[in-house]
Homo-oligomer: A and B are copies of this chain.
């Protein structure tokens, strides 16, 4: 009926350290301490430990368990409900993670057989994933899920040649923008050329180009610090300069 630390530990399938820790944080105190300083547990403590372990199995943290087992008035149903919500959310995230790992695996596996082609696929996949990770939420809010999904689909369907062209265009736009920025004239030839390339570049992602949408993107480059940072790697103010150039290019602002 009475147990020392090791005896109770064996009975319950935990270690002695765990029992001493539970004593330390006040979640399960021994019934008494004998003359040699040994912890002695009784049957009440056994029951309580079983309760504790039951909740621990549910991955409830010890702080919460302490409240549950120490105060019978504690709203354990509410606590369990909230805990269930957490578990459900966790599972949803896990499902996403697994899907992502499998996508990556599929992409990487293919690379073994048709190395170059699939490597390219993996890159496209990565581009989409990273884009989603970094801007996904806001862009989907602004442009809607369908538009974004279609854009991603277009990237997936690109041929290696098209993909290379997109990359080249992106670099050329940056270079042109650098040179144009130094002229200081958003209406000048260089800036307008950059805006034109940017229209071409966009066309690889969009299935319908409109001046208004183009101007919208340009404004986003200014408003969103992460896009701004991309265009202002070399020159602060470059994002605003680029926006002005595009506004002029689209004819939505006179110079």
Hey, which chain B residues are within 8 Å of A225, CB to CB? 10
Tell me, yes or no, whether A229 is within 8 Å of chain B by CB.
yes
Tell me, yes or no, whether A233 is within 8 Å of chain B by CB.
yes
In the complex, the count of this chain's copies comes to 2
Which residue in B13, B108, B133, B234 is a CB contact (below 8 Å) of A77? B108
- Could you tell me which residues of chain A, from 1 to 26, have a CB within 8 Å of some CB in chain B? 1, 7, 10-11, 13
Hey, which chain B residues are within 8 Å of A57, CB to CB? 97, 100, 129, 133
Taking a contact as CB atoms under 8 Å apart, the answer to whether A58 and B90 are in contact is: no
Which residue in B80, B87, B108, B133 is a CB contact (below 8 Å) of A94? B87
Which residue in B84, B104, B112, B226 is a CB contact (below 8 Å) of A58? B104
Taking a contact as CB atoms under 8 Å apart, the answer to whether A11 and B87 are in contact is: no
Taking a contact as CB atoms under 8 Å apart, the answer to whether A100 and B58 are in contact is: yes
Binary contact readout A94-111 vs B (1 if CB under 8 angstroms, 0 otherwise): 110110111011001100
A67 to chain B, nearest CB (A): 15
Provide the bound-state CA to CA distance between A100 and B87, in Å: 11
**Known interface pairs A77-B109, A226-B13, A229-B10; A101-B87 also in contact (CB < 8 Å):** yes
Tell me, yes or no, whether A115 is within 8 Å of chain B by CB.
no
In the complex formed, the residue of B with least CB distance to A96 is B57
- Could you tell me which residues of chain A, from 93 to 138, have a CB within 8 Å of some CB in chain B? 94-95, 97-98, 100-102, 104-105, 108-109, 112, 126, 129-130, 133-134
16 example contacts (A-B, Cβ-Cβ < 8 A) are as follows: A7-B229, A10-B225, A13-B133, A50-B130, A54-B126, A54-B133, A57-B100, A58-B97, A58-B104, A59-B97, A77-B108, A77-B112, A80-B108, A84-B105, A91-B91, A94-B94
7 A-B pairs with least C-beta separation: A84-B101, A1-B233, A91-B94, A87-B98, A77-B108, A11-B229, A80-B105
